[in-house]
């Protein structure tokens, strides 16, 4: 069997290879969804019409290694990832989360309880509630420690997709980029970076609510830049909205430690995973209002307008470096596996 | 660290050990659910009031080994398990399912597609639709092949819990018991049993709908006898309903091959997993009507009344062998791991 006939690490890395695998293998599983968002949209979650509102649903598994990293752990990640994907669809009040754990035989009880505690803490911060779950145990050597899956649902009267950009719209990122991926990466490789490199992992549903309240219908696209980073989000926005996207590189909020680590490793923070950020597309007239609302929230102090949608070059992402412009290529995948 | 401080295979085996682990570690994650079914109920899923109906939600991970077994595979299992848990809450029309896969690096594409195909087949049989998903890849040796998680939601105007039994109610099983667990077990151990030992894995939401239509409000308790088998369901019914449960052993539908395998292995079919069955508690006056409706459906032809709830010995399960009565002890766990 050739390598092409087998699943590789790149297929889980949030870039083009993963998208292709999903399209080729899984998209056929989803039937049409009337007046809602189904599998074919490949958005952060689904939205199914029920009466006069939508039930939004999302799922993510978490396999991050190491399980505890600067700024968070797999438990906090599992709740934040779920709450944030719901919020990205416009559903900022989670109604119920599921908690499915798969544990390796011999896993320490005490560590399980620490993971549980940080799930609980993230539930508190977001107002989420776990309503059902599942527990499986695999034999020693059959799974590496623990794997978590969370699914969630919420209802909303307005669904925000990732396909709503029009030329002229502004793009806002809710804070500094690349913290999560760089924190996991440097911890895993035992790199010694100066300063405080910490994951941004956090539920941001309340921050997103502030943006939606400020911008109303002028908030037209949202996506959390997890695997594949901000670059992947911008490519999806551009492709689905059929617009070009121009990013102003100088305006990108990047912590000095992340910049340093990126230079050391030769990795652009634009392609590195975040777990407590959103990229938001807003009609130009409301951009400053939304920005101000984000900055007024503790999790949005470093929010910035980073670019705009343009009519030229639909489907492509252009980086304006201040000295010139370059095309941002879509990556095959995040530079390292098991990031989340 | 002592064994008691570590998670063991028994903690995933659907018996007392698992229930204790969940109660001690995870129940604290669930806040109170008003006018619905939350984590504390430990039912097949949760039910959250939304307007004049309930949104039902459930999750299960699947780690079965081998992935293909007589009568089914991990893909069919993942859809059936999810659809059936929704149905056990009274929600027989799934509105959306999630599909989260965790794949080991090097997994054959062709096998992934076969699994996808049987998920699709089970979706067709049940009317279910996958609306969102997630794909992670773990390195070689970090997970044994593939793990699936499905979560689902549906709405219903009437929730059926597993706590509704009253003395006098009849207990119905929708068909022969022990097929799934015995099929997996004999395949795994390479046992040579005569006859056709096949898993019963199937979505039974439409069968359950027939029972609900026939019995109406007289259907008062439902649970699918997965890990831990019919015995575990009866113990939960007895404990939660605060009734005694008497099972008429002679009336239990058991295929000859399952009986033979059980005798060979020294395992009572009552404690063996099923993946296409339900145990239903019905007010006595409607029992025959519900039984007839079940038997009229292709998946319910072997349905039988297997016992009744009584006022004596609340919380306990008594087996009437025809020659005398014995207490059925609650098992620590299913006799083998990775059954589903
Ligand atoms: N196995 C699968 N089956 C069906 N759909 C899938 C599957 N895996 C991914 N998808 C769909 O593909 C799209 C991309 O999934 P992805 O997991 O990258 O989104 P995300 O959850 O927002 O990102 P992340 O997992 O990095 O947090 C989503 O619309 C998702 O529903
Ligand atoms: N990790 C967990 N966190 C929260 N609740 C859990 C967890 N594991 C199990 N539960 C809850 O415990 C109860 C029993 O779970 P269990 O998985 O045995 O039910 P089931 O899905 O009906 O059975 P099976 O998994 O064998 O199909 C359910 O109410 C479930 O929500
Ligand atoms: Mg997302
Ligand atoms: Mg996600
Ligand atoms: Mg379960
Ligand atoms: Mg169940
Ligand atoms: Mg189940
Ligand atoms: Mg995902």
Return d(Cα A49, Cα A32) in angstroms, integer: 13
CA of A165 to the centre of ligand 1 (A): 21
Instruction: Report pLDDT for A193.
Output: 73
- How much is the pTM? 0.98
Instruction: Report pLDDT for B194.
Output: 62
Instruction: Report pLDDT for B336.
Output: 80
Of A31, A57, A109, the CB nearest to B98: A57
How far does the CA of residue B303 sit from the closest CA of chain A (Å)?
28
Instruction: Report pLDDT for B128.
Output: 98
As given in the structure block, the two tokens for residue B340 are 């589903």
Complex-level ipTM beyond the 0.90 threshold: yes
Give which of A81, A133, A159 to mutate to test B binding, by max B Cβ within 10 Å. Answer: A133
Per-residue pLDDT of chain B (340 residues; tens, 9 = 90+): 888 899 999 999 999 999 999 999 999 999 899 999 999 999 999 999 999 999 999 999 999 999 999 999 999 999 999 999 999 999 999 999 999 999 999 999 999 999 999 999 999 999 999 999 999 999 999 999 999 999 999 999 999 999 999 999 999 999 999 999 999 999 888 887 767 899 999 999 999 999 999 999 999 999 999 999 999 999 999 999 999 999 999 999 999 999 999 999 999 999 999 999 999 999 999 999 999 999 999 999 999 999 999 999 999 999 999 999 999 998 887 778 899 9
Give per-residue pLDDT as tens, A58-79.
Answer: 999 999 999 999 999 999 999 9
CA of B44 to the centre of ligand 6 (A): 4
Give per-residue pLDDT as tens, A205-246.
Answer: 999 999 999 999 999 999 999 999 999 999 999 999 999 999
| DSSP element (H, E) containing A85 | helix A74-88
CA of B220 to the centre of ligand 6 (A): 16
CB contact under 8 A, B58 and A8: no
Omega prior to B66 cis, within 30 of 0: yes
Question: Which 141-170 residues of chain A touch chain B by CB within 8 A?
Answer: 141-144, 147, 149, 151, 153, 155
Give per-residue pLDDT as tens, B177-193.
Answer: 999 999 999 988 888 77
Decide: B96 in ligand 1 pocket, CB within 6 A. no
Give per-residue pLDDT as tens, A188-206.
Answer: 888 877 678 999 999 999 9
Give per-residue pLDDT as tens, B12-68.
Answer: 999 999 999 999 999 999 989 999 999 999 999 999 999 999 999 999 999 999 999
- DSSP, residue by residue, B73-138: EHHHHHHHHHHHHHHHTT--S--EEEEEEEEETT-BHHHHHHHHHHHHHHHHHHT--EEEEEEEEE
Per-residue burial over A183-218, b = 16 or more CB atoms within 10 Å of its CB, e = otherwise: bbbbbeeeeebeeebbbbbbbbbbbbbbbbebbeeb
Instruction: Report pLDDT for B332.
Output: 83
Instruction: Report pLDDT for B74.
Output: 98
Q: pLDDT grade, residue A3 (50/70/90)? A: confident
Residue with tokens 């544990």: A103
Question: What is the Cα B326 distance to its own chain's centre?
Answer: 25
pLDDT of A128 above 80? yes
Give per-residue pLDDT as tens, A4-26.
Answer: 899 999 999 999 999 999 999 99
Q: Where are the beta strands (DSSP E) in chain A?
A: 46-50, 53-62, 68-69, 72-73, 96-104, 130-138, 146-156, 170-173, 219-223, 244-248, 279-282, 304-310, 317-320, 325-327
By CA distance, what is B130's nearest residue in A? A30
Instruction: Report pLDDT for A194.
Output: 62
Query: How many beta-carbon pairs below 8 A join chains A and B?
Result: 274
CB contact under 8 A, B13 and A137: yes
Please count the CA atoms within 13 angstroms of the CA of B339 that sit on its side-chain side.
32
User: Is B107 touching A (CB cutoff 8 A)?
Assistant: yes
Sort strands A130-138 and A96-104 into parallel, antiparallel or unpaired. Answer: parallel
């Amino acid at each position: 069997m050739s390598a092409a006939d087998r699943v590789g690490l790149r297929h889980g890395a949030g870039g083009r290879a993963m998208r292709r695998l999903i399209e080729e293998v899984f998209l056929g599983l989803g039937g049409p969804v009337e007046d809602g968002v189904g599998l074919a949209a490949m958005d952060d979650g689904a939205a199914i019409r029920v009466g006069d509102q939508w039930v939004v649903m999302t799922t993510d598994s978490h396999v991050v290694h190491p399980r505890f990293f600067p700024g968070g752990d797999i438990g906090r990640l599992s709740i934040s990832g779920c709450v944030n994907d719901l919020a990205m669809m416009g559903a900022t009040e989670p109604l119920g989360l599921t908690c499915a754990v798969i544990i390796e035989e011999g896993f320490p009880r005490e560590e399980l309880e620490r993971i549980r505690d940080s799930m609980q803490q993230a539930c508190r911060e977001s107002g989420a509630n776990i309503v059902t779950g599942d527990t499986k145990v695999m034999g020693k050597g059959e799974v590496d420690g623990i794997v978590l899956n969370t699914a969630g649902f919420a209802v909303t009267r307005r669904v925000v997709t990732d396909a709503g950009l029009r030329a002229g719209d502004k793009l806002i990122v809710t804070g500094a980029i690349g913290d999560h991926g760089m924190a996991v990466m440097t911890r895993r490789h035992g790199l010694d970076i100066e300063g405080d490199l910490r994951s941004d992992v956090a539920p941001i549903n309340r921050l997103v609510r502030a943006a939606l309240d400020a911008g109303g219908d002028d908030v037209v696209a949202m996506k959390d830049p997890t695997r594949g980073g901000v670059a992947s989000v911008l490519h999806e926005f551009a492709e689905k909205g059929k617009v070009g996207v121009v990013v102003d590189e100088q305006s990108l909020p990047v912590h000095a430690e992340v910049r340093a680590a990126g230079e050391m490793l030769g990795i652009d923070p634009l392609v590195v995973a975040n777990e407590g950020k959103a990229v938001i597309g807003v009609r130009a007239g409301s951009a400053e209002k939304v920005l101000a609302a984000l900055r007024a929230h503790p999790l949005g102090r470093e929010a910035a307008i980073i670019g705009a949608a343009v009519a030229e070059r639909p489907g492509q992402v252009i980086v304006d470096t201040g000295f010139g412009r370059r095309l941002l290529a879509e990556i095959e995948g995040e530079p390292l596996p098991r990031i989340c």
